[in-house]
Amino acid sequence: MPFKSKSGLFGVASFWSQKEDGAVAIMFALCLPVFLALAAFSYDMGVQSYARTKMEYAADATALAVARYDPANATTFGANIFKANFTQGFFGINVTPNISISTDGTNITVTASSTMPTLMSPFLTTKKLTVKAKSVVQTALTSLEVVMVLDVTGSMADSNKIGNLRTAANQFLSILFGQDTVSPTTRVSIVPFVASVNVGSGYTTWLSDPTTALLTSQGGQFPKGQPWRGCVGARASPYEETESPPSTAKWPTYFTPTTYVNASSKNDNDWTVDASGNVVIKTTSVPTVGPNRSCGPAIQPLTNKLSPLRTLVNSLQPINGGGTFNNLGLAWGWRTISPLWKGLWNGGIDPLDYGTSNNRKVLVLETDGDNQWFDDARPPATGDPTAYGYGSTYATRLGLGKLGGATTISAAKTKIDNLVATMCTNIKNKGIEIYTVTFLVSNASTQSLYRNCASKPSNYYNITSSPNIVTAFNDIANKIKTIRIIE
């Protein structure tokens, strides 16, 4: 067979190699625009996805901020929040969000849409891509009923507790109301308590002895110019532990001469001085004297108006005398949001029925001490009154039978603690959520009582530094005013 030289074979290989290189070059040239388009497409899609994520985050942040802080100025406030979270000019994107609030105030909607330049533009007729985002935030409830039950006993004067409580309560209201002065969805009541609760002087029909509240200048045991302020005694069990209205059982009037002028004690004097001569003046400020001794400020029934709530909070002062009865505060707090009391609170908003859709009932209790029955009376003085009566000595007072026949201070405390536990259970059984705050309370059993009173452990706050009550109230308010992203 003929012999073929190597050079001939190499020549053939070289020939075909050159042909293949040319084909590859041609194919590469033909595919290069496709490769570039795919690369540009991938880049553009990545940028669009990233920009959309950033825009969605900004929309969520805007909706949440508007819902929580400033619904009244949604457009301006929201635009500033959006721009803080989505820098203008980001990948060539400039956008102004559209912010709207539903007519019932429960939904905040933020939409944003813009276009971005693309690397694909040389290959497509569409020169830009659309980037858009939407966020809808819903307040968890369409309505909210909250009662603040506040201890204003004399010990609240220590460590500026009363001042910090006023600050805390005001900030609490600010969070719940936002920028509203009249809220379409939030209703709040306030129940200050001492050794009794002041329901207001306009409710004489609730009293078992209403005529005593009217004896002002007509004579009798009550002096001119000293009408009944509105404090009531405690009903007998089992009514005092329930939400039952006055039609079921009425309250005795808390209106009595508290200490006689000619007493061996140098405590609070009555409303007059019976003789001239040397008079011992107690310099401690006592805002309640005479037949209304230890009667604190009146309840503010449910209202959606911020002004009367702030007025009451700013007026709170420590009230000396009588002791601390958290069970009474709980009872009257419950009654301000109980549907059984519809139509009974003059000027107040009627509470909604239990189980009303999208309505939440919340009770917040603040106290700075153990439950106690206390006064410094000595015979022949009758001492300071409480909702459970008064007597000339501890023994006779505690033996009146209104606290289960307790005859010692410790037995009275145990009885009141048991009443508190019963009240907490009864209230929670109605679906009312309870938050409790103990204020500079070191007693472990007292802490346990109110921890168990709260609806869950995280609803209990033990404040060990007076200013920290502000943080606790802020946290509670933010928990109550829950908002969530639904779209």
- pTM (whole model) above 0.75: no
Question: At residue 266, does pLDDT exceed 50?
Answer: no
Are 101 and 178 in contact by the 8 Å Cβ rule? The answer is: no
The angle, 0 to 180 degrees and rounded to 10, between the axes of the packed helices 326-337 and 409-428 is 20
156 Cβ contact partners less than 8 Å away, ≥ 6 residues apart = 162, 165, 318, 368, 439
> Phi and psi of 162, rounded to 5°?
-65, -35
Q: In this structure, what token pair is assigned to residue 407? A: 């005859």
CA distances from 326 to 201, 308, 449, 454 (A): 22, 24, 11, 14
Task: From residue 359, give the alpha-carbon distance in Å to each of 105, 272, 323, 480, 482.
Answer: 14, 51, 35, 12, 12
**How many C-beta atoms lie closer than 10 Å to residue 78's C-beta?**
26
The one-letter amino acid at 288: T
Whole-angstrom distance, CA of residue 285 vs CA of residue 290: 14
The reported pLDDT for the residue numbered 372 is 74
Per residue in 305-327, pLDDT (tens digit) is 999 999 999 999 998 776 788 99
Report the CATH architecture of 143-272+279-482.
3-Layer(aba) Sandwich (3.40)
- Residue 188 vs residues 162, 310, 326, 367, 440: alpha-carbon distances, Å: 20, 11, 19, 19, 26
- On whether the CB atoms of residues 181 and 307 are closer than 8 A, the answer is yes
Gyration radius of the chain's alpha carbons? 36
Token digits of residue 289: 């004297």
pLDDT band with cut points at 50, 70 and 90 for residue 192: very high
Query: What does the pLDDT look like over 391-412, one tens digit per residue?
Result: 334 434 444 455 666 666 777 7
**Cα 413 to chain centroid, rounded:** 29
Nearest 10 degrees: Cα torsion 236, 238, 240, 245? -110
- Minimum mean pLDDT range among 280-294, 318-332, 467-481: 280-294
Pseudo-torsion of CA 404, 209, 191, 308, nearest 10°? 180
Give the separation between CA 185 and CA 146, rounded to whole angstroms.
11
- Tell me which residue of 356, 394, 348, 354 sits closest to 375, measured CA to CA: 394
Q: So where are the chain's domains?
A: 17-139, 143-272+279-482
CB 150 within 8 Å of CB 165: yes
Residue 150 has pLDDT above 70, yes or no: yes
The Cβ of residue 337 has, within 10 Å, a number of other Cβ atoms equal to 25
Q: How far is CA 182 from CA 190, 241, 245, 342, 364, in A?
A: 16, 33, 28, 21, 21
More confident site: 363 or 92? 363
What proportion of the chain, given as a percentage, has pLDDT over 70?
Answer: 70
